[in-house]
Amino acid sequence: MTAQKQKLVIVGNGMAPSRMLEHLFEVGDQYEVTIFNAEPRVNYDRIMLSPVLSGEKTYADIIIHGEGWYAEHGITLHQGDKITEIRRHERKVISEKGVVADYDKLVIATGSNPFIIPVPGSDLPGVLAYRDLDDTDGMIKAAEKGGRAVVIGGGLLGLEAAAGLKLRGMEVTVIHLMPTLMERQLDTAAGYLLQKELESRGIDVLCEANTKQILGEGKVEGVELADGRVIDASLVVMAVGIRPNVALAQEAGLEVNRGIVTDATMKTSDPNIYSVGECVEVGGMVYGLVAPLYRMAKVAAEHLAGPSEAAFAHAETPTKLKVTGCDLYSVGDFAEGEGREDIVLRDAQRGTYKRVILKDNKLIGAVLYGDVADGAWYNQMLISGEDISEMRDTLIFGQAYQGGGTVDPLAAVAALPDDAEICGCNGITKGMIVKAITDKGLTSLADVRAHSKASASCGTCTNLVEGIMGITLGDDFVLPAAQGMCGCTTHSHGFVRRMIKAKGLKSIPAVMQELEWSTAEGCAKCRPALNYYLVADWPGEYKDDQQSRFINERVHANIQKDGTYSVVPRMFGGITTPDELRAIADVADKYDIPTVKVTGGQRIDLLGVKKEDLIPVWADLNAAGMISGAAYSKGLRTVKTCVGTDWCRFGTQDSTGLGIKLEKALWGSWSPAKLKLAVTGCPRNCAEATCKDIGIICVDSGYEIVYGGAAGLHIQGTTVLGKVATEEEVMEVVCALTQYYRETGFYLERIYKWADRLGYDHIKEVIYDNLEERKAFAERFRYSQEFAQVDPWAERVAGAEAHEFKPMATLNLEAAE
Amino acid sequence: MNMQSKTWIEVGTLTDIPRQGARCVKTGEMTIAIFRTTDDRLFALEDKCPHKNGPLSDGIVHDGCVTCPLHNWVISLETGAAQGADEGMSLTFPVKLDGETVLLGL
């Protein structure tokens, strides 16, 4: 058991080697792993950089493995340190910072470098490639200054960059050398439709345009084309292609051609060195899309694990463009040629185009634009090579029209064979997804992603995966298909939240205008949601719209069935004093308040207060030093505590004191739904922390932080986020967690539902494992609290919103007669 | 209201009422809510939802309707009728502006 482990060293920390390690850890742990990463960060999903650029996702959303994952597998990760030399005869690698590592097996995964066209001016500041997070950050920063961006290259990456920069508010021109866009993936008709779509979004497209030089003194000022045209620009993005990064392998004397040459087992010319990823040339081909790279990863893992038959084989990879609202799909070979036949369907009105290419009654390629629902079905026929002559007449209409079937999207998924590939990125078939669902009893999309990897990369197959969950689970699965927020819009909460950030929308009318609301003023469902999103996303900038809040949040009390209100003063940590209790008793007497009740969250509730009495009641409670308990808010409600080390003979920490500190830090904050906390002084759990939104369980050695509990209609125990040693860390983690929930939760979505949706592992990686992210989230929370911690009672006692509380007029009907 | 002769009674000024909001006028037994829309039109309803008497003046105002704060019934400001699948009526009253002055017809 304790035999010396072999040493595996990996150069590069991109998506291919990390996937390789996942496979390797599944079959065993015979290796001690060391990774050298030139980028100073953990690995992330590079194909999701475009949604980061467009503002639809953040860096935190695209992390694949947080620091916790490396620790869990005992991986030594050298971040920001590059290998400069391989000594093959000594089986050593040497890094830029002088680290020397021995290996038994070495994997080179140096990826690729963006190709920069060597025209004059290409080294000016303001000329960027589009390759990693630093480039993306550079573009986001440049976009903040506005102006025009010129994107050189009208391929997949270039167009995603152009769309993202446009969404960020820049003027954008795309320069493309060829006559139509994306000519390697699209035919001319689909390329034309794509160009029209981009132009309708205000992106200028210049095809057959050759860049002569980049102009500027000290920074980019423009681009000159070969025909003499000059386009002003403050940013130039080169997205004209990539070159395998072979320098290290070449210097080490490995066989190198266009890429690092490997056999079908991913072994290089040195039997102890493997290579995976974009740096590889296998079977005479180099690859840039993620699906074949993941297949390489699997093959390499199997050979590293032991003798294996696994071999890499070329397969057609479907292409999809990740630009929201531009649906296109292409696969296979669509060049015209001898013996090839086309079937084409165009609908100019809807702007759709479908073309399938046949040879010998078999499908060899497909190009879809506008309506891509049948992409997976055509791809399946391409892979299986089945004879399509029987359905030739209806083939182009898609799967729903075969055999007179219904146009039920679930029926289309149900009809797919088990070996149909659903997730192209990860090579996951329908059968594998069904097996994962049934074997492991999975019921949520997040779980299916975590266990099967289906739709876990680019996410474009999410609908298909949900469809498979639907047919496998039957009634147990409620399709969470992106439903509109309400009857006023078809956009989902998630989309609206992303667009508010991406387009910098800062008022409710701006959201409704830009996102094409179908009603003039929204409704009682969407207005409070939008108001919350704007409050949470633009602290200090957005002016809270009182008329879009529910009455409880407008008058800072809970409306009761008879139109009276209940008033709850805040008692930090559930601690009160004789003076406070006397003041509460006096108020109850003075205003004839019929019911005084102790709540489940350790507060005192005064029920049956008339609306006109609210302000005097608050004035009296304020005078006794109490503020609003916010028992009415979608925001922080209460922090429940036990007496901890102050009194309890079992207490391990000062749970009461910590509860008070937490409540003092969190009060006043708005969140997607109500937020209730508890701090309990020992695992006996008298404060019931394990069914709260966030709970702290004190133990001798520190504090366990748990979250995602529910004890309402739905009952659910909490999940552990992590353990920390000090109160300061508790405060930071809880603030960071709250902020992440505030930034990404959907309105009225309790924290447990949010966590079920995002995945507990993912949240732990962002908030607990990644110290940098944790700090950033906590800091954003602190900033937002600067504007939120104002006692609404005191404001209203001082005269704010006075119209809410008294009648406009009281008429004496006798006199009116 | 089916009173033979209507009396216009001054109850306040336009700016007393927030846009997309309401204010109440108390008339002995009854409370009447006066609503102001985004485009400064005024409507008056008895401040009672036909469902369970919820105070409509505390609801959210949108597109010529108010949503009751108790159980989300949507009531037309103009006709007082419950919208959608719900059935019921709130009493309506005439209301008009004279310059900035709000006049309620009783």
Q: How do residues A553-596 score in pLDDT, each as one tens digit?
A: 999 999 999 989 999 999 999 999 999 999 999 999 999 999 99
CB contact at 8 A, A299 and A24: no
Report the amino acid identity of residue A649: R
pLDDT of residue A403: 55
Task: Give the mean pLDDT of A272-285.
Answer: 94
- Supply the angle between the helices A462-473 and A445-452 in degrees, to the nearest 10: 110
Among the partner-chain residues B9, B54, B59, the one whose CB lies closest to the CB of A816 is: B9
pLDDT above 80 (res A285):
yes
Measure B79 CA to nearest chain A CA, in Å.
18
A810 contacts in chain B (CB < 8 Å)? 25-27
B69 contacts in chain A (CB < 8 Å)? 550-552, 559
Domain total in chain B? 1
pLDDT of residue B45: 96
- Structural domain boundaries enclosing B13: 8-105
- Helix/strand/coil for A190: helix
Residue A466 has a CB neighbour count (10 Å cut-off) of 20
Which residue in chain B has the smallest CA separation from A554?
A: B58
- Decide if A808 and B20 are in contact by the 8 Å CB cutoff: no
Task: Give the mean pLDDT of A724-737.
Answer: 96
Of the candidates A299, A297, A329, the residue with the CA atom closest to the CA atom of residue A458 = A329
Task: Give the mean pLDDT of B16-26.
Answer: 94
Measure B63 CA to nearest chain A CA, in Å.
6
Contacts 24+ apart (CB under 8 A), A771-779: A771/A67, A773/A59, A773/A60, A773/A736, A774/A732, A774/A733, A774/A736, A775/A732, A775/A736, A777/A735, A777/A736, A777/A737, A777/A739, A777/A740, A777/A743, A778/A731, A778/A732, A778/A733, A778/A735, A778/A736, A778/A739
pLDDT above 80 (res B38):
yes
SS (H, E, C) A123-139: CCCCEEECCCHHHHHHH
pLDDT of residue A408: 57
* Residue A815 near chain B (CB below 8 Å): no
Among the partner-chain residues A521, A522, A559, the one whose CB lies closest to the CB of B69 is: A559
Q: Residue B3 domain-assigned? A: no
Measure A608 CA to nearest chain B CA, in Å.
15
B19 contacts in chain A (CB < 8 Å)? 547
Task: Supply the DSSP symbol for A297.
Answer: H
CB contact at 8 A, A172 and A204: yes
pLDDT above 80 (res A414):
no
The pLDDT-based confidence of A262 (bands split at 50, 70, 90) is: very high
pLDDT of residue A412: 67
Q: What is the Cα A443 distance to its own chain's centre?
A: 20
Phi, psi of A367 (to 5 degrees): -130, 120
CB contact at 8 A, A235 and A150: yes
Using alpha carbons, list the distances in angstroms from residue A574 to A383, A558, A601, A642. 65, 20, 8, 9
Q: What is the CA radius of gyration of chain B?
A: 13
pLDDT of residue A817: 40
Task: Give the mean pLDDT of A178-195.
Answer: 85
Place of tokens 């084409």: A344
pLDDT of residue A477: 67
pLDDT above 80 (res A458):
no
pLDDT digits (tens, 9 = 90+) for B43-55: 999 999 999 999 9
The pLDDT-based confidence of A63 (bands split at 50, 70, 90) is: confident
- Decide if B26 and A809 are in contact by the 8 Å CB cutoff: yes
Task: Give the mean pLDDT of A402-425.
Answer: 69
pLDDT of residue B4: 52
Query: What distance in Å separates the CA atoms of residue A807 and residue A559, rounded to the nearest whole number?
Result: 17
pLDDT above 70 (res A80):
yes
The pLDDT-based confidence of A407 (bands split at 50, 70, 90) is: very low
CATH code of B98's domain: 2.102.10.10
Domains of chain A: 6-112+244-305 (3.50.50.60), 127-240 (3.50.50.60), 493-549 (no CATH), 553-633 (3.90.480.10), 636-788 (3.30.413.10)
- Decide if B31 and A807 are in contact by the 8 Å CB cutoff: yes
Among the partner-chain residues B53, B63, B69, the one whose CB lies closest to the CB of A550 is: B69
Angle, alpha carbons A755-A760-A765 (nearest 5°): 120
pLDDT above 80 (res B77):
yes
Task: Give the mean pLDDT of A600-616.
Answer: 94
- Decide if B20 and A521 are in contact by the 8 Å CB cutoff: yes
Phi, psi of A491 (to 5 degrees): -75, 145
pLDDT of residue A247: 94
DSSP-derived secondary structure for A547-613: GGS-HHHHHTSEE-TTS-EEE-B--GGG---HHHHHHHHHHHHHTT--EEEE-TTS-EEEEEE-GGG
- Decide if B23 and A807 are in contact by the 8 Å CB cutoff: yes
Using alpha carbons, list the distances in angstroms from residue A239 to A37, A114, A134, A175. 23, 7, 15, 10
* Residue A486 near chain B (CB below 8 Å): no
Query: What distance in Å separates the CA atoms of residue A10 and residue A106, rounded to the nearest whole number?
Result: 6
Q: Residue B1 domain-assigned? A: no
The pLDDT-based confidence of A409 (bands split at 50, 70, 90) is: low
The pLDDT-based confidence of A303 (bands split at 50, 70, 90) is: very high
Mean pLDDT of chain A: 89
Task: Give the mean pLDDT of A51-62.
Answer: 82
Q: Residue B52 domain-assigned? A: yes
| Span of A454-463, A541-550, B50-59 with lowest mean pLDDT | A454-463
pLDDT digits (tens, 9 = 90+) for A466-502: 888 877 887 666 655 456 888 888 888 988 988 888 8
The pLDDT-based confidence of A406 (bands split at 50, 70, 90) is: very low
Burial track A722-736 (b if 16+ CB lie within 10 A, e otherwise): ebbeebebbbbbbbb
Phi, psi of A62 (to 5 degrees): -110, 10
CB contact at 8 A, A523 and B63: yes
Residue of A519, A803, A808, A810 to mutate when probing chain B, most B C-beta within 10 A: A808
pLDDT of residue A816: 42
Place of tokens 């991109």: A14
Query: Going by DSSP bridges, is the β-strand pair A171-175/A203-206 parallel, antiparallel, or unpaired?
Result: parallel
pLDDT above 90 (res A552):
yes
Query: What distance in Å separates the CA atoms of residue B43 and residue B35, rounded to the nearest whole number?
Result: 5
Encoded tokens for B74 = 């949507």
Among the partner-chain residues A547, A555, A816, the one whose CB lies closest to the CB of B7 is: A816
Which residue in chain A has the smallest CA separation from B15?
A: A803
The pLDDT-based confidence of B29 (bands split at 50, 70, 90) is: confident
pLDDT above 50 (res A1):
no
- Helix/strand/coil for A219: coil
- Decide if A555 and B58 are in contact by the 8 Å CB cutoff: yes
Which residue in chain A has the smallest CA separation from B48?
A: A563
Query: What distance in Å separates the CA atoms of residue A422 and residue A222, rounded to the nearest whole number?
Result: 44
Of the candidates A425, A424, A423, A411, the residue with the CA atom closest to the CA atom of residue A448 = A423
pLDDT of residue A568: 96
- Decide if A524 and B62 are in contact by the 8 Å CB cutoff: yes
- Decide if B106 and A816 are in contact by the 8 Å CB cutoff: yes
pTM over 0.90: no
Of the candidates A348, A368, A346, the residue with the CA atom closest to the CA atom of residue A356 = A368
CB contact at 8 A, A193 and A349: no
- Decide if A524 and B23 are in contact by the 8 Å CB cutoff: no
pLDDT of residue A345: 82
Q: Residue B2 domain-assigned? A: no
pLDDT of residue A494: 85
* Residue A522 near chain B (CB below 8 Å): yes
Query: What distance in Å separates the CA atoms of residue B90 and residue B47, rounded to the nearest whole number?
Result: 8
The pLDDT-based confidence of B24 (bands split at 50, 70, 90) is: very high
CB contact at 8 A, A84 and A96: yes
CB contact at 8 A, A416 and A431: no
Measure A593 CA to nearest chain B CA, in Å.
20
Among the partner-chain residues A550, A551, A808, the one whose CB lies closest to the CB of B23 is: A808
B49 contacts in chain A (CB < 8 Å)? none
Of the candidates A306, A237, A338, the residue with the CA atom closest to the CA atom of residue A24 = A306
- Decide if B34 and A811 are in contact by the 8 Å CB cutoff: no
Query: What distance in Å separates the CA atoms of residue A80 and residue A249, rounded to the nearest whole number?
Result: 19
Sheet with A702-707: strands ordered across: A636-641, A675-680, A694-699, A702-707, A719-724
- Helix/strand/coil for A199: helix
Query: What distance in Å separates the CA atoms of residue A500 and residue A503, rounded to the nearest whole number?
Result: 6
Return the half-sphere exposure (C-beta side, CA atoms, 13 A cut-off) of residue A454.
29
pLDDT above 50 (res A109):
yes
Place of tokens 């981009």: A198
In terms of phi and psi (left: phi > 0; alpha: psi -120 to 50; beta: otherwise), the region of A458 is alpha
Q: Quote the percentage of chain A above a pLDDT of 90.
A: 53
Residue of B24, B60, B86 to mutate when probing chain A, most A C-beta within 10 A: B60
Q: What is the C-alpha end-to-end distance of chain B, expressed in Å?
A: 8
pLDDT of residue A242: 85
pLDDT of residue A417: 80
B24 contacts in chain A (CB < 8 Å)? 807-808
pLDDT of residue B18: 93
Q: What is the CA radius of gyration of chain A?
A: 30
- Decide if B34 and A810 are in contact by the 8 Å CB cutoff: no
pLDDT above 70 (res B2):
no
Contacts of A615 (CB under 8 A, 6+ apart): A796, A797, A805
Return the half-sphere exposure (C-beta side, CA atoms, 13 A cut-off) of residue A19.
27
Task: Give the mean pLDDT of A799-816.
Answer: 78
Question: Which residues of chain B approach chain A closer than 8 Å at the C-beta?
Answer: 7, 9, 11-12, 16-21, 23-28, 31, 34, 38, 52-55, 58-63, 67, 69-70, 72, 74, 102, 106
Torsion of CA A661, A779, A552, A574, to 10 degrees: -10
pLDDT above 90 (res A405):
no
- Decide if B21 and A809 are in contact by the 8 Å CB cutoff: no
Residues of A numbered 89-128 whose beta carbons fall under 8 angstroms of chain B's beta carbons: which are they? Answer: none
- Quote the ipTM score: 0.87
B34 contacts in chain A (CB < 8 Å)? 808
* Type and span of the H or E element at B103: strand B101-105
Query: What distance in Å separates the CA atoms of residue B29 and residue A146, rounded to the nearest whole number?
Result: 61
Task: Give the mean pLDDT of A762-790.
Answer: 93
Interchain CB contacts (distance < 8 Å): A and B: 94
- Decide if A547 and B61 are in contact by the 8 Å CB cutoff: yes
pLDDT of residue A444: 82
Which residue in chain A has the smallest CA separation from B25?
A: A809
DSSP-derived secondary structure for A499-536: HHHHTT--SHHHHHHHTT-SSSS--TTHHHHHHHHHHH
pLDDT above 70 (res A815):
no
* Residue A810 near chain B (CB below 8 Å): yes
Alpha helices in A31-132 (DSSP H): 49-54, 67-72
